Structure 1
Amino acid sequence: MSTVLGAPRRWVMRWHRPLMLMVASMLFLLVVSAAGLVFDDRELLGAPVWLKPFKFAVSMAVYGTTLAWMLSLPHRGRKWTSGLATVFAVTGFVDTAIVAIQAARGTFSHFNKSTASAEKIMQVIFGNGVLCIMLANLALAIILAFQRVHADRAMSRAIHTGLTLAVVGMTLGFLIPLQAKTETALTTSGERVSLSSGHSVGVPDGGPGLPLTQWSTTGGDLRIPHFVGLHGLQVMLIAALLLAVLAARYPLLRDDRTRARLIGVAATGYTGLIALVTWQALRAQPLIHPDVLTLAAAALLTAVTALAAAAVLAAAGRASATG
């Protein structure tokens, strides 16, 4: 039994160490933020001050663990990918630390135009960190795009398409500052601070929002496409794992080429979903209150994706019958 339990531990220990250290720090922040949500009743723009650090900790822990696993797979250019992952780990840690520090201080970590020198320095570091994270992910996606990083074709394609979707999601995050929606808001101490932009479209930030995410329920919210795209990597990997599990039961899925084609269909459909929620947000429309146009587009996207998947399975069935 100890041998069985020790194997996963040795496997994880071979994962990219800076990334795993970053993940460990995120798990610690997760605990601190959860305690803050329970015991600290301060709010910023109508949301608990510790909600943003909590969400950042979850997102960075999930993404960092995924990257660490991916980089444990055999691939060319390991020195480059390791260096890029270290950039991601360091900048991810620093940026999330700024989010947590600002939450503890009861002020804003994003788009804070305070004239205080400490705030200016934090904003410069935070902004450059976001850019470094995106560029590191882009470079990783390019390096891995031209090689098969997993023995299973479907999983390899999931990695390639997932990284691309994540880069798209990170890029969509820049729509928020591009709004240049200048607002003013109060810190928890009552100080009025100017903000250079905001995530809501058509309504002020800080209005009614969904539980936990706080995505606006009265207007568009550009955090939605950012989130959906950013975690496309995890969605693609989960899809590949599910197909591998289903392959044991359904013979049509036993050929990894068929599963890889289905991952391609899923990635294309997911790209359509990202475009859909971006379009919806830019039209100042809440996620939970779609209009007829949004519903029609969603129905068309679902139908086309289902037909494409059916075509792949039908082709696999014909190949199996003639083989």
Structure 2
Amino acid sequence: MTDLMDHQVKENGNDDGRQGLARLHRPLAYCAAAMGLLAVTAVVGMAVDERTLLGEGVWLKPFKFAVSFGLYALTLAWMIGRTRAWRRTLRVLGTVAVVGFIAPEISIITFQAARGVRSHFNVSTTLDDILVKAMGGAAYLGWGLTLVLGVLLMLQRRVDRPMAWAIPLGVFISLAGMSVGFLMTTPTPAQADALDAGGSPGILGAHTVGAPDGGPGMPLTGWASGAGDLRVAHFVGLHALQLVPLVAIGLGLLATRVPVLRDAAVRTALVVVAALGHATFAALLLWHARRGLAPLDPDTTSLVALTALAVAMGVSVLVILRTGARRGRRLRGA
């Protein structure tokens, strides 16, 4: 893949930013712009529409999903725009992601918000059940498309080793984060009991563990503040797609000031450590939530695990930097 980053620091200099924008996958880029407009519209909706659902404004959910889908679309537009092999296939897949995954799901979420009813897990009427199934199908399609895109992006020929690792690691951690969403569709014990008794609960699935959905929540995110919430791990894992490549970008920019980072092997190792740390952190958040613990209320076991992760990452970074510095001194002295 040629110049995976227009402004990534490389020995041959930087590309023109305008050329990078021209290479964006257009349907995905237009989709990202549309998500930006929807996010602004949702903010206006939150300001003028006083209706609430599960304790939060009805337009908060479209806002959050618009931001998330916008970042997803923009990131894929940037990645696909820098491919050589399977270029036409990747562009077709990117367009299918817009038409078959992003557009249907965000449209249903917005439509249900306008109606003032739940979008996810809501099977209370025939229409709601159909919409939930449509969103489920779109989610499965999105997962499969992201997997195929990740494989094809991973097999591209690249000139920048840190980014060559950052993109596939970010994609596959993001896939794991997406998969957390499927856990939310499992009926809760109370819902399962109702089904076993021959009932027809109007809600199937939940994102809160240890309490009903709609309890006390954190500002802006709405994540549960008194119980476990699967959405936290879902969010953190999902956005590895952006965060891991951003680590590679940041290290490349720092390489102009920090000599040890001019070694591509050092930057690559740091990217791998960051990706593994991100994945482990997301897994810890999932484990934390599954035990019914609120995001900001860790127990001793969670704190020990987080401390161990932080220490392991810190030691790994120090070893990589010291090893790289010694190698640099040997090369200069040779």
Cα distance, 1:121 vs. partner? Answer: 2.4
Q: Is the 8 A contact 2:83 2:153 kept in 1?
A: no
Partner Cα separation in structure 1 for residue 319 and residue 36 of structure 2? 43
Give, in angstroms, the shift of residue 182 of structure 1: 5.6
Post-superposition Cα deviations, 1:227-254, rounded to whole Å, max 9, x if no partner, equal 0000012111221111112111111000
Cα 1:69–1:278 shift into 2, 3 Å: same
User: What corresponds to 2:114 in structure 1?
Assistant: 104
1:66-108 CA distance string (max 9 Å, x none): 1101111133111221122112111201110110010001111
User: What is the match of residue 260 of structure 2?
Assistant: 252
Task: Say whether residues 1:12 and 2:12 are aligned partners.
Answer: no
Instruction: Tell me if 1:77 matches 2:86.
Output: yes
Please tell me the root mean square deviation across aligned C-alpha atoms, in Å.
1.7
Match of 2:145 in 1: 136
Question: Residue in 2 aligned with 1:4?
Answer: none
Change (3 A) 1:300 1:73: same
Is this contact kept in 1: 2:224–2:294, CA < 8 A?
A: yes
Structure 1 residues 182, 88: closer, same or farther in 2, change over 3 A?
farther
- Quote the residue 2:319 is aligned against: 311
Question: Which residue does 2:218 correspond to in 1?
Answer: 210
Could you tell me the TM-score, scaled by structure 2's length? 0.88
Structure 1 residue 124: deviation in Å? 2.1
TM, length-normalised to structure 1: 0.91
How many Å separate the matches in 1 of 2:233 and 2:49? Answer: 30
Contact 1:182 1:197 in 2 (8 A): no
Task: Flag as ranges the 4+ runs of structure 1 deviating above 3 A.
Answer: 7-11, 179-183
Aligned-partner SS, 1:24: helix
- Matched to 2:300, the amino acid is V
Match of residue 170 from structure 2: 162
Q: CA deviation at 1:167?
A: 0.7
Once the 2 structures are TM-superposed, how far is the Cα of residue 113 of structure 1 from its aligned partner? 0.9
Counterpart of 1:283, as a letter, is R
Distance in 1 between the 2:22 and 2:190 partners?
A: 46
Counterpart of 2:168, as a letter, is H
**Aligned residue type for 1:243:** L
Letter in 2 for 1:233: L
Give runs of aligned pairs for residues 1-323 of structure 1, distance below 5 A: 8-9=17-18, 11-90=20-99, 91-116=101-126, 118-149=127-158, 151-180=159-188, 194-323=202-331
Tell me the equivalent position of 1:3: none
Q: For residues 280-322 of structure 1, what are the alpha-carbon distances to aligned partners after superposition, in whole Å with 9 as ceiling and x for unaligned?
A: 0000001101011000000000101111111111211121121
C-alpha deviation, 1:63, in angstroms: 1.2
The whole-number CA distance in structure 2 between the counterparts of 1:73 and 1:14 is: 7
Instruction: For 1:308 and 1:11, locate their aligned partners in 2 and report how far apart those are by CA, in whole Å.
Output: 34
Per the alignment, do residues 251 and 9 of structure 1 end up closer, same or farther by CA in structure 2, a change over 3 Å counting?
closer
**Partner AA of 2:129 in structure 1:** K
Amino acid at match of 1:61: G
The 3 A distance-change label for structure 1 pair 24 and 181 is: farther
Gaps of 5+ in 2: 1-15, 192-200
Shift of 1:147: 3.1
The more displaced of 313-322 and 99-108 is 313-322
Distance between the aligned counterparts of 1:283 and 1:95, measured in 2?
29
Structure 1 runs not aligned, ≥5 long: 1-6, 184-192
Matched residues in 1 for 2:30 and 2:325: separation? 46
- Aligned-pair identity (%): 39
